[in-house]
Amino acid sequence: MIDARLESYLSDTRRYDELLNSSGDVRAHWRPLIDALASDGADAVRRGVELARRLIVENGVTYNVYADAQGRDRPWVLDPLPILLTAAEWREIELGVTQRAQLFDALLADVYGPQQLLADGTVPAELPFGHPNFLWPCHGITPAGGKRLHVYAVDISRSADGRWWALADRTQTPSGPGYALENRHIVSRVFPDLLADLGVRSLGSFFVALRDDLLRHAPAAEAPLAVVLTPGAFNETYFEHAYLARQLGLPLVEGHDLTVRGDTLYLKTLGGLRRVHAMLRRLDDDFCDPVELRADSALGVPGLISVVRAGRVVLANALGSGVLESAAWMGFMPAAAERLLGEKLRLPSVATWWCGEQLALDYVLDNLERLVIKPTYPNQNFATVFGRDLKPQARADLASRLRARPYAYVAQERLAFSQAPVWRSAGGSGSTAGGKGGAQGFSARALGIRVYAIATAGGYRVMPGGLARIAADAADIVSMQRGGGSKDVWVLAPDRRSIDEVNVASAAAPVHARHDDLPSRLAENLFWLGRYSERCEDKARLLRATLEVRPNAVLWPQVQGTCGQFVAPALFDEVNPLALSTDLERLGSCASQARSRLSAENWRAISVLQREFQDAARAKRDPRETLDVLLLSLAGLAGFALDDMTQDDGWQLMMVGRRLERLQFLAELLSQRLRSGETPMQSELEWLLDIGDSTITYRTRYLAVPRLGSTIDLLVFDRTNPRALAFQWHAIENSLVRIAASLGGAPDDTLDEAVALVEEMQLSAVEGEGEGSIRARQELAETLSGLSTAAGRLSDRLSLKHFSLIDESVRTVAA
C-alpha cells in the first residue's frame, strides 16, 4: 500500500533523506504519519491536497497582494505533507538558533556602540561601513529595554551527513512567521487528528510571547499600545502583515498613521493621538525616518529616530539591524561567538569566504566552479551566481570583478540540501509542488527551513516549527519567488506534556485592540468604503430601472429629465468621473486600504466583483445582465457589512457612510422628480419604486397600482422599510449616539433640523391637480433637497472631527 506510493520517491545517495534511512526504510518518527496516510488511502491524500488548496484561496493567503485586474494576487503554495523532526533533533536546532540570536544581538550592540570587534580585527570594518543598512544616525543609541534583536530568523538546511547548517540570517524584519502559522492552520484542517496523535508541538503561544515582549517595557501607568508598521497594501508580503497584526491583536498601521510630537510616538486614532510604546516594523531600515535617513521615503515616520534616541519606543527590530544581513558575516561568526559569548558556535554557517581577505580571494579564484558567489551588500548590482554555470568568458569577467573590488564579494560552498517527500497528483497537474507527468505518489524535493526566535524576558525563545520551503524542481534553489512551495514543520514533543495546546487557533486567541486604537485613516477608508459601496448600488439600480423603461416612449423623456440632473453615465465609461466604473475603482481602493478589517471572504468578494465588471466591460456584455450580476455582488457586500465585521466605531462609521449615501441619493432623486410640481405618471412611480427596491413591499402592502401618496409614504416615512429615508436617518442617529458614547462628546446633530422639517410634512395634499397640491409637491421637493444638503454637511463634519489628523501632504525639504 505505502510502498506503491513510495515507488516514485527516489533516494539520492548524495543527500540526506528526511523520510528514508540509509537502508531505504521509512524513519521511525515518520512511520505513524505514513501508516495513517496508508490506512486512509490514496484518495484521502488527494482530497487533503485539494482541501489545502481550497483553504488557501478561501483564506486569501497570498504572497503578492493587491487584487486588481492584472491579477497580481499570487496564491500561497503549500504542500500539505509536513516535515517531521524528532524532539532530539529539534533540541539541537533550538540551542543553535538561540545562540545565534544572542550572538547577533550582541554583535549589533557592538557595531552600534563601541565597535570593539571592528577595531581589533575580529570582524572586518568593511562589512558594516559599506552596508546600506548601517545607519550612522543610530550609532550610540541605547535602545529601550537594551535589546536590538527581537525577532530573528535563520534559514537552515541539512548536509548529507545529517548536520544542520545556517545558510542565511534575517535580522531586520524577518518575514514568514505569519505564513508558518497559517500553514499550520490549514494543515491541521487537512489532517485533523494527526497533530494530536503524533504529539506535535503547538505554535500558538509563540505569538503571545512576541506581543508580551513588545509591551514588556511599557510604563505600568499607561495603557500599553503596540502597532505593526507596514509599507502598505502593495508590499509583496502584505498578507502576512495583516495576518500578524490580527494574530497579535495589534493595529496594522502605515507611516502616516503615526506622528512624532516631542519625544513621543503617537498613533492618530478616531479618539485623538494615542502614545505608541512598541512597534513591530515590516518597513526597511532606511525608509523609517525621512528626517534623518533616506529623505526620499514617503513611507516612514518623520522624527522616529528622536523617539528611539530618547528610549521612548521599542522597535522590533532596532533601526539599522539589517546591517547583519550579508553572507559576508558568516565566516567571522565563530570568532565573534568566542569574543562576545565566550562560547563555541553551535549551529555553524555553511562554509563562507569573504573575498576582502587575500587568502580567501585566492582560494575563491582557484575554486570558482565549486562555489556560489554572492554580493556582500544588498544594494549591489550583482545577482548570486553558481560558478559551475558560467562559461569561460563569464568566469574570467567574474574573476576580474572580484579582483577589482574584492571586499564586495562573498563565496559559499554549495550544500547538497536534504530531500523530503512532496505529494504529486496524477499527471502532475494541480499538484501544489509537483513535477511533470507521472503517476500520483510521493516525489523528492530539496528542502530548507526558516526557523524563528523571539526575545522574551527569559531569553530567546524558538518557535517550535517553522516555514519549510521546497524547490520547484529537482534543483537546489528553495525560494518562494522562484516558484517553490512551502510546508508545515512538525516538531514532535518529547512527551505528551510538552505539546502546549495542540490546537493553534485557540492558542493564539488574539486580544482585541481597544476601540480608541482605531487609526483615523482606517476609519476614514471604512467610511468611504461604506459610501462607495452604496453609491455603486444606487447607480446600478438607477441604471437598471432606467434601461427597463427605455422602450416606453412616453416615460423615457420624463425619466431622463429626472436622472439626467445628477447621474447619467454610460455604463462602461471609464473616463467619466461620474461613471460607475470610477466608483467601483474607488470602492476597491478604499477596501484595499481597509483590508486589515475585512474578512478574507469579504475581500475576495470585492476583488471578484471588480474583476467581473471589468471582464463585462471588455467583452461589452449586455448592460442589463451585467447590472444584475453587479447588484447581486453588491448585495453580498451589504451582507458582509452586517454579518461579517466587528461592530466597533470603525464599523459604525462605515454604516453611517452607507446610510448617508442612500439618504442623499433617494432624497435627491425624489426632490428632482417633484420639483416641477407635476404629478408623476403611474409608470414613473413604478420606476421610482424599482430604484428604491420597494416594488414588492408596495404590492404586498397596498395591493393596488402605485399612487403618489403611498409611494412617498413607503420611500420616505416608513421606518420598517430598510430603503426608506426614515430608516436611514434613524440608523444614522443610532450610530452617532454609539460613536459619541465610545469617544466622548455629544452626538452630532447636523441632520436633526432637516429631519424635523421632513417629519412635519403633510402628505394629504400631495395628490391632486389643484394649486395647493402643486405647491405641496414643490414644498416636499424643497424639504427633501434640504435633507440631502444636510447629509452632505454631516459627512464633512464627520471628516473634520474624526479624520482631520490625516496629513494630506508630507514633503521633505532641504537647503
Partner 1 sequence: MNGVVRYRMRHQTVYHYGGDVAHSHQLLHLAPRNSPSQVCLSRRISLDPQPSTLREDVDAFGNFVTRLEYDLPHDRLEVLAESSVAVSAPTDAAQSESAAWEEVRDSLCYSGRSMSAEFFEACRFRMESTYVRVKQTFSDYAEDCLVPGRPLLPAAQALMHKLHRDFTYAPGTTNIRTSVIEAFTARRGVCQDFAHIMLACLRSRGLAARYVSGYLRTTPPPGPEAGLLGADASHAWVSVFCPPLGWVDLDPTNDMRVGNEHIVVAWGRDFGDVSPLRGVIVGGGRHRLTVRVSVQAE
Binding site for partner 1 (CB under 8 A): 115, 118-121, 124-126, 129-130, 136-137, 139-140, 259-263, 290-292, 294-295, 302-303, 306, 356-357, 377, 404-405, 407-408, 807-815
Rounded distance between C-alpha atoms, residue 123 and residue 105, angstroms: 15
Q: Are 106 and 341 in contact (CB under 8 A)?
A: yes
Closer by beta carbon to partner 1, 497 or else 811? 811
Closer by beta carbon to partner 1, 397 or else 622? 397
Rounded distance between C-alpha atoms, residue 180 and residue 804, angstroms: 38
Is the CA virtual torsion 683, 685, 687, 690 positive or negative?
negative
Give least dist CB 300 to partner 1, A.
9
Could you identify the residue written with the cell 487533503? Answer: 48
Closer by beta carbon to partner 1, 355 or else 714? 355
Give least dist CB 697 to partner 1, A.
50
Give least dist CB 600 to partner 1, A.
35
Q: What angle do CA 795, 799, 800 make, to 5 degrees?
A: 120
Closer by beta carbon to partner 1, 495 or else 808? 808
Alpha helix stretches (DSSP H) within 216-350 = 238-248, 304-309, 333-341
Could you identify the residue written with the cell 567574474? Answer: 398
Among 215, 105, 206, 94, smallest CA distance to 149 is for 105
Closer by beta carbon to partner 1, 279 or else 355? 355
Residues 6+ apart with CB under 8 A from 569: 539, 576, 578, 579, 580
Closer by beta carbon to partner 1, 359 or else 703? 359
Please name the helix (run of DSSP H) or strand (run of DSSP E) that holds residue 374, with its range, or none. Answer: strand 371-375
Pairing of strands 164-170, 74-75: unpaired
Q: What angle do CA 407, 412, 418 make, to 5 degrees?
A: 160
Closer by beta carbon to partner 1, 291 or else 629? 291
Give least dist CB 360 to partner 1, A.
10
Closer by beta carbon to partner 1, 377 or else 698? 377
Give least dist CB 27 to partner 1, A.
43
Among 617, 552, 558, 549, smallest CA distance to 582 is for 617
Give least dist CB 590 to partner 1, A.
23
Closer by beta carbon to partner 1, 10 or else 810? 810
> In the structure grid, which three cell numbers stand for residue 327, read together?
553572507
Rounded distance between C-alpha atoms, residue 146 and residue 385, angstroms: 39
Give least dist CB 354 to partner 1, A.
8
Give least dist CB 459 to partner 1, A.
30
Give least dist CB 644 to partner 1, A.
36
Closer by beta carbon to partner 1, 405 or else 618? 405
Could you identify the residue written with the cell 492584472? Answer: 70
Closer by beta carbon to partner 1, 91 or else 405? 405
Is the CA virtual torsion 572, 577, 583, 589 positive or negative?
positive
Closer by beta carbon to partner 1, 125 or else 763? 125
Closer by beta carbon to partner 1, 117 or else 489? 117
CA 97 remoteness from chain centre: 28
What backbone phi and psi angles, to 5 degrees, belong to 625? -65, -45
Q: Distance between the two ends of the chain, CA-based, in angstroms?
A: 76
What contacts 24+ positions apart, CB below 8 Å, involve 22-29?
26/2, 29/84, 29/85, 29/86, 29/492
CA 495 remoteness from chain centre: 36
Closer by beta carbon to partner 1, 47 or else 261? 261
Q: Are 358 and 370 in contact (CB under 8 A)?
A: no
Closer by beta carbon to partner 1, 220 or else 404? 404
Give least dist CB 120 to partner 1, A.
4
Give least dist CB 357 to partner 1, A.
7
Q: If 0-12 CB within 10 Å is exposed, 13-18 middle and 19+ buried, where does residue 145 land?
A: middle
Q: Interhelix angle for 682-691 vs 649-674, to 10°? A: 170
Bridge partners of residue 461, in order along the sequence? 454
The amino acid at 9:
Y
Q: Are 420 and 486 in contact (CB under 8 A)?
A: no
Give least dist CB 329 to partner 1, A.
13
Give least dist CB 303 to partner 1, A.
4
Closer by beta carbon to partner 1, 300 or else 464? 300
Among 786, 536, 542, smallest CA distance to 664 is for 786
Give least dist CB 84 to partner 1, A.
43
The amino acid at 360:
A
Could you identify the residue written with the cell 494543515? Answer: 187
Give least dist CB 309 to partner 1, A.
8
Closer by beta carbon to partner 1, 246 or else 309? 309
Among 421, 429, 424, smallest CA distance to 441 is for 424
Could you identify the residue written with the cell 504529539? Answer: 199
The radius of gyration of the chain from alpha carbons, rounded to an integer in Å, stands at 32
Among 378, 414, 347, smallest CA distance to 152 is for 347
Pairing of strands 164-170, 226-229: unpaired
Give least dist CB 814 to partner 1, A.
4
Rounded distance between C-alpha atoms, residue 554 and residue 681, angstroms: 10
Closer by beta carbon to partner 1, 54 or else 261? 261
Q: If 0-12 CB within 10 Å is exposed, 13-18 middle and 19+ buried, where does residue 675 land?
A: middle
Give least dist CB 123 to partner 1, A.
9
How many residues are recorded in the chain? Answer: 815
Give least dist CB 582 to partner 1, A.
27
The amino acid at 391:
K
Pairing of strands 264-269, 272-275: antiparallel
